[in-house]
Structure 1
């Protein structure tokens, strides 16, 4: 029997965040016993041309945004913003893209308010041997790569069917890169090169519509590109030949991979376009940092750099659909409460902070915090 109430927030303080956690057209897919414990923000279905009355008839009801934060046990919010913190009451559970590892402000709020944080970015499927299988939100990551390519190319007025032929470099071969590859192919680009992150084994090509290469560190710590014929080249030489460079690599925050140095910025081709979907600040590229929909692109030397945060919001409707499909199987578990969370490996491993206590050691390491509550940040 469900014991917790779930508050579903549709609005956001974040600029141009138009996605919602539960697509309203999927409400009837949810078990009635769970649905009646779900409360939605007024106007939730407006962008989908779905009325409040329609949602009210199928759920526990509608609330104002601040009422959801006050009265619901679990708050389902796409991406919290610092402006949300004053509205969050102590002891609540947040379920969304939380980024507690890299963002000190949200970790501090969770500690100070005894919050429980269940991070979507940490939700993965595991097999019986506790081995990673896939990320729950891999489709959203694909959309991020796909939408980022479409948006960035539109900003620069570029298309693969027309104009000068361009060499495309995709760094990484995960979900983001798969989505990017689909976009590049659909827009007519032919000369596409995919560079897999460093690995002990050579990864076989996954698509015949691109040329695959392997990245590897040499004995001097330089990033090398290894080609199918086992010849190798400095990675910066590959970058220097490319007209469009897409970064889809998920970084290890403690040991980030750098693709180039400040001194090598001049090697970028004039009018080269860097599409940084990973956008980990200071990682990959020395100038990397998130940009916004209002100011999506800036110049680096003679090149262009695009790194819009939440690019999948560019295609907000289909992104909401895929997010919702990913969440629906876990709604019942979340609604049943903490004892059931421990029985589900996907949820259990995604709990990064529980009742204000940090349980994910990566937060302690990255933010240099004490292991003991209240997890003070150590200087230096």
Structure 2
């Protein structure tokens, strides 16, 4: 199979879908690897290193034209839509539920869209979402602490406090991988930390993990409103795999927050869990202020630390890429039901129910394809 990877064009996105080590593994397995010139520089991988690993360096258009499978990090953007060709495999984060234009492009070009974020492993967890969720969770608190500084319009609060002062209050909505890693950072800084989740068993796990240093709260709209009002830093990290994120923090709740408080909506790439996070921001222009509250709504948070993020992500994606390349996409999906859950589009059809529901499109079960 001819496998290609290209330079990401999302604002300040420096990750890359294949490392030189990944190229070498694919070459060793008998495949051809094409890399867009300069694609790895943002992650610290030069063209020379890719050539040493056996890759052929080409232009973006040439990589798209010649590749049977494109391995990326983020969803394609409009300038890339006309580069697809029928039957081409696109293996990347897709996040299609809030992206009707991208979905239409994949369907029109009959792309085999396999989304990192909906693949499941044998434990029914999300193995390709977890690495970046860990990065995003840890960075959410790091970023929130920065924007609490007065120079950014924040309250001028140090999350950990100092002797004689109260520490800041971090409120985390969602106790999954992102929320757990956000809590680790916040606890490490010495903040007061509360995690809200609907699953009592998950909260019990977090209580054991943190030894009582985190308040664990079973959430509902009434309780959420009380805790949002208290937050110096609110981290939204709710996830329904492949689907639009429900708006659990309403505009009325945000209005009760003190001026200079900060919201980091890590779920913004699936639509966001905060009603006032109604636009996606970028690393170049990451924040806006609404009702006196700083909103950080960057959809590719891990892109700011590309070296760490690229290696962490490709450690998990490479075995799947090899399986698809070695067996072909259909046999690879037949052999691995968890990988089959990653199939979102094929032959002009939507094969992931949450995407069809969100975009009001016809749904074709994966089983009908395989």
| Residue aligning to 1:95 | 91
Contact 2:5 2:18 in 1 (8 A): yes
What secondary structure does 1:91 align onto? coil
Distance 1:35 1:159 in 2: 54
Contact 1:176 1:248 in 2 (8 A): yes
| Residue aligning to 1:293 | 283
Distance 2:18 2:318 in 1: 8
What secondary structure does 2:49 align onto? helix
| Residue aligning to 2:343 | 351
Q: Residue 266 and residue 256 in structure 1: after superposition, are their counterparts in 2 closer, same or farther (change >3 A)? A: same
Q: Residue 193 and residue 50 in structure 1: after superposition, are their counterparts in 2 closer, same or farther (change >3 A)? A: closer
Q: Residue 146 and residue 325 in structure 1: after superposition, are their counterparts in 2 closer, same or farther (change >3 A)? A: same
| Residue aligning to 2:153 | none
Tell me the matched-pair count. 349
Contact 1:13 1:84 in 2 (8 A): no
What secondary structure does 1:141 align onto? helix
What secondary structure does 1:39 align onto? strand
Distance 2:245 2:42 in 1: 39
Corresponding residue to 1:40 among 12, 32, 35:
35
Contact 2:88 2:111 in 1 (8 A): yes
What secondary structure does 1:135 align onto? coil
Contact 2:122 2:338 in 1 (8 A): yes
Give the drift of 1:295.
1.8
| Residue aligning to 2:186 | 184
Corresponding residue to 1:240 among 229, 233, 238:
229
Contact 1:251 1:283 in 2 (8 A): no
Q: How does 1:44-193 map to 2 (within 5 A)?
A: 44-79=39-74, 80-127=76-123, 132-157=124-149, 159-162=158-161, 165-186=167-188, 188-193=189-194
| Residue aligning to 1:6 | 3
Gaps of 5+ in 1: 218-222, 225-233, 373-380
Corresponding residue to 1:210 among 210, 213, 220:
213
Corresponding residue to 1:342 among 301, 322, 334:
334
Tell which deviates more after alignment, 101-110 or 34-43.
34-43
| Residue aligning to 1:378 | none
Give the drift of 1:197.
2.9
What secondary structure does 2:204 align onto? coil
Q: Is 1:314 paired with 2:304? A: yes
| Residue aligning to 2:252 | 263
Give the drift of 1:256.
5.5
TM-score norm. by structure 1 comes to 0.83
Give deviations 1:98-143, integer Å, cap 9, x for gaps. 122331111111111111100011112025xxxx144333121110
Distance 2:343 2:101 in 1: 18
| Larger helix share, 1 or 2 | 2
| Residue aligning to 1:278 | 267
Q: Is 1:324 paired with 2:323? A: no
Give deviations 1:193-229, integer Å, cap 9, x for gaps. 1112355886341312632323344xxxxx24xxxxx
Contact 2:345 2:351 in 1 (8 A): yes
Contact 2:245 2:270 in 1 (8 A): no
Give the drift of 1:280.
5.9
User: How large is the Cα RMSD of the aligned pairs?
Assistant: 2.7
Contact 1:281 1:288 in 2 (8 A): no
Tell which deviates more after alignment, 75-84 or 205-214.
205-214
TM-score norm. by structure 2 comes to 0.85
Contact 2:119 2:338 in 1 (8 A): yes
Q: Residue 273 and residue 66 in structure 1: after superposition, are their counterparts in 2 closer, same or farther (change >3 A)? A: same
Give the drift of 1:346.
2.7
Gaps of 5+ in 2: 150-156, 365-370
Q: Residue 209 and residue 146 in structure 1: after superposition, are their counterparts in 2 closer, same or farther (change >3 A)? A: farther
